[in-house]
């Protein structure tokens, strides 16, 4: 986790003290269940909570123990015994390290998912507000980066709103899938611990019971979680890339907010660069990069190995922290985005009416011209305009073959910008539930 791209709200989920606190809660809840089953004394379970429930664990001391014994969970239980005293001998009975580690990781991932869901809600809120603000602001639609037909800037933002709505649904599903608990002991057979202990811990930690674990919770769950983060990051980059293009000097239909005193270049004082969008592009690439090791972690030897462990210690905090930062930055970028309708209109007019070529094609076919001939007629009048050699509408009106099918008034009708926007309300109704 790099401080530059880390928000404290997400960072705290991955801090050592948070992890140790979750470890303690898992162990203490398991002790409670063991006590209720008569496996350990109830006084011992109570002592664990009484003596260590409010303790700030000594991370340095645990690290010191681990350097000697080379095992993180045993280092923790050893330190816990220093705090609790003789009753600590009843802690961790019948459990294996993965019971603690995997259940803890899933608690952290669900907390991270909850925060990321809140982030997406902020993005959705900004997109919806700006979409309705520019619902009928006409702009050019592009395919292959080339002017195609008119859209509205509100529709561009509505596209993104729909995409992030799907992102939210996927994240909620991924959270549900990863929110499982395993307290099943070595190789997952419950030979040394009653399944009812797992049920108790799962409920106490806000998780569901893992139906069948080996010595670890199956990593296909985690692979889907990180894959979902990767798809969300791709959506972040798609929108960021759109803004980067729109801010190009030759386009300048929208622009990132440029604050008083902000500097764009160390060399050129005039520069106003899309630095936030470019930053989001880079951060999105990093989140997607974590998907591959998550996929590879699915493949473990037999009932358990730890080839996944080192990767997860990095990708879990880094992927969630990075995406959290990116989503909040994106929400702020959209909220403050500068939009230039006059430049949008200028770009709409740039090709001298060529953006209406399909309407002319259809109009000709409706008047009896074959589609093949109609295409040739429209294209032969369009190409000179593309080269800067005339006005599309005027050329069409001077084309004798076109005039066999269309009057001047009928040609003029095909250049109505509003025609392209007649179903915007319908689209908004579909996306937002209201127009």
pLDDT at 264: 83
Q: What is the reported pLDDT for 263?
A: 84
What integer pLDDT is reported at residue 270 of this predicted model?
85
Reported as a pLDDT band with limits 50, 70 and 90, residue 108 is very high
What's residue 276's pLDDT?
A: 95
Say yes or no to pLDDT of 47 above 80: yes
Annotated catalytic residue within 71, 176, 265, 370: 265
212-242 pLDDT, tens digit each: 999 999 999 999 999 999 999 999 999 999 9
The terminus-to-terminus CA distance of the chain in angstroms comes to 42
pLDDT at position 103 is 98
pLDDT digits (tens, 9 = 90+) for 271-329: 889 999 999 999 999 999 999 999 999 999 999 999 999 999 999 999 999 999 999 99
Q: What percent of the chain has pLDDT over 90?
A: 95
Kindly give, in sequence order, each residue whose CB lies less than 8 Å from that of residue 80, ignoring residues fewer than 6 positions away: 24, 27, 48, 52, 88, 91
Q: Do 160 and 330 form a contact (C-beta atoms < 8 A)? A: no
pLDDT over 90 (residue 357): yes
The rounded distance, in Å, linking the Cα atoms of 184 and 197 is 9
What the block records as the tokens of 218 is 């199956």
Q: How far apart are CA 396 and CA 142, in angstroms?
A: 24
Q: What is the mean pLDDT of residues 28-41?
A: 97
Q: What is the pLDDT of residues 163-188, one digit of tens each?
A: 999 999 999 999 999 999 999 999 99
25: nearest Cα among 110, 90, 111, 103: 103
pLDDT at 268: 86
Give pLDDT, residue 265. Answer: 80
Instruction: Please tell me whether residue 80 adopts helix, strand or coil conformation.
Output: helix
Measured distance CA(46)–CA(41) in Å, rounded: 9
Identify the burial level of 132 via C-beta atoms within 10 angstroms of its C-beta, where 0-12 means exposed, 13-18 middle and 19 or more buried. Answer: middle
Percentage of the chain modeled with pLDDT above 70: 100
Report the alpha-carbon angle 299-304-309, nearest 5.
Answer: 75
Q: pLDDT value at position 262?
A: 85
Question: Is 265 labeled as catalytic in the residue annotation?
Answer: yes
Place of tokens 């049920």: 199
159-165 mean pLDDT: 98
Give the residue-averaged pLDDT of 375-398.
95
| pLDDT above 80: residue 1 | no
pLDDT at 150 over 90: yes
**Cα distances (Å, whole numbers) of residue 140 to 70, 147, 149, 248, 345:** 62, 6, 6, 15, 8
Is 186:172 a contact under the CB 8 Å cutoff?
A: no
Q: What pLDDT does 435 receive?
A: 82
**DSSP tag of 111:** H
Give how far Cα 101 sits from Cα of 20, 325, 358, Å.
10, 26, 61
> What is the average pLDDT value for the chain, to the nearest integer?
96
pLDDT of 212 reads 96
> Does residue 435 sit in helix, strand or coil?
coil
Strands 146-152 and 254-255 turn out to be unpaired
Report pLDDT digits (tens) over 188-206. Answer: 999 999 999 999 999 999 9
Q: Coil, strand, or helix at residue 266? A: coil
| Token duo for residue 124 | 């959705």
Tens-place pLDDT, residues 114-127: 999 999 999 999 99
Residue 141 φ then ψ, to 5°: -85, 145
> Do 339 and 153 contact (CB within 8 A), yes or no?
yes
At residue 428 the predicted structure's pLDDT band, cuts being 50, 70 and 90, is very high
Mean pLDDT to the nearest integer, 399-423: 96
The residue from 144, 259, 266, 302 that is catalytic is: 144
* Enclosing H/E stretch for 181: strand 180-181
């Amino acid at each position: 986790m790099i401080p530059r791209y880390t928000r404290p709200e997400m960072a705290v989920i991955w801090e050592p003290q948070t992890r140790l606190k979750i470890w303690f809660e898992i162990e203490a809840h398991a002790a409670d269940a063991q006590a209720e089953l008569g496996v350990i004394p109830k006084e011992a379970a109570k002592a664990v909570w009484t003596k260590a429930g409010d303790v700030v664990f000594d991370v340095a001391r645990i690290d010191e123990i681990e350097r000697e014994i080379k095992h993180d969970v045993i280092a923790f239980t050893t330190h816990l015994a220093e705090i609790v005293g003789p009753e600590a001998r009843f802690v961790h009975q019948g459990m294996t390290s993965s019971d603690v580690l995997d259940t803890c990781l899933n608690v952290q991932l669900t907390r991270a998912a909850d925060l990321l869901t809140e982030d997406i809600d902020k993005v959705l809120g900004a997109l919806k507000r700006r979409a309705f603000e520019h619902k009928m602001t006409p702009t050019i639609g592009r395919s292959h980066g080339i002017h195609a037909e008119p859209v509205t800037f509100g529709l561009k933002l509505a596209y993104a709103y729909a995409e992030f709505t799907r992102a939210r649904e996927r994240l909620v599903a991924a959270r549900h899938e990863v929110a499982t608990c395993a307290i099943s002991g070595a190789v997952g057979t419950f030979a040394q611990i009653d399944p009812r202990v797992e049920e108790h811990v799962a409920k106490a930690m806000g998780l569901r019971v893992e139906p069948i674990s080996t010595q670890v919770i199956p990593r296909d769950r985690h692979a889907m979680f990180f894959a979902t983060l990767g798809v969300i990051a791709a959506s972040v980059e798609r929108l960021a890339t759109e803004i980067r293009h729109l801010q190009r000097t030759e386009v300048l239909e929208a622009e990132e907010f440029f604050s008083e005193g902000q500097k764009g270049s160390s060399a050129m004082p005039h520069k106003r660069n899309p630095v936030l969008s470019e930053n989001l592009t880079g951060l999105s690439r990093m989140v997607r990069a974590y998907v591959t090791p998550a996929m590879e972690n699915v493949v473990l030897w037999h009932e358990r190995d730890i080839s996944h462990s080192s990767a997860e210690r990095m990708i879990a905090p880094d992927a969630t922290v990075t995406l959290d930062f990116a989503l909040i930055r994106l929400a702020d970028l959209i909220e403050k985005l500068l939009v230039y309708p006059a430049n949008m209109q200028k770009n709409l007019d740039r090709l001298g009416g060529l953006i209406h070529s399909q309407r002319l094609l259809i109009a000709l076919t409706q008047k009896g011209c074959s589609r093949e001939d109609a295409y040739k007629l429209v294209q032969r009048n369009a190409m000179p305009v593309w080269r800067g050699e005339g006005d599309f509408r005027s050329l069409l009106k001077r084309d004798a073959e076109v005039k066999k099918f269309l009057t001047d008034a009928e040609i003029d009708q095909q250049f109505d910008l509003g025609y392209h926007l007649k179903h915007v309300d319908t689209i908004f109704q579909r996306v937002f539930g209201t127009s």
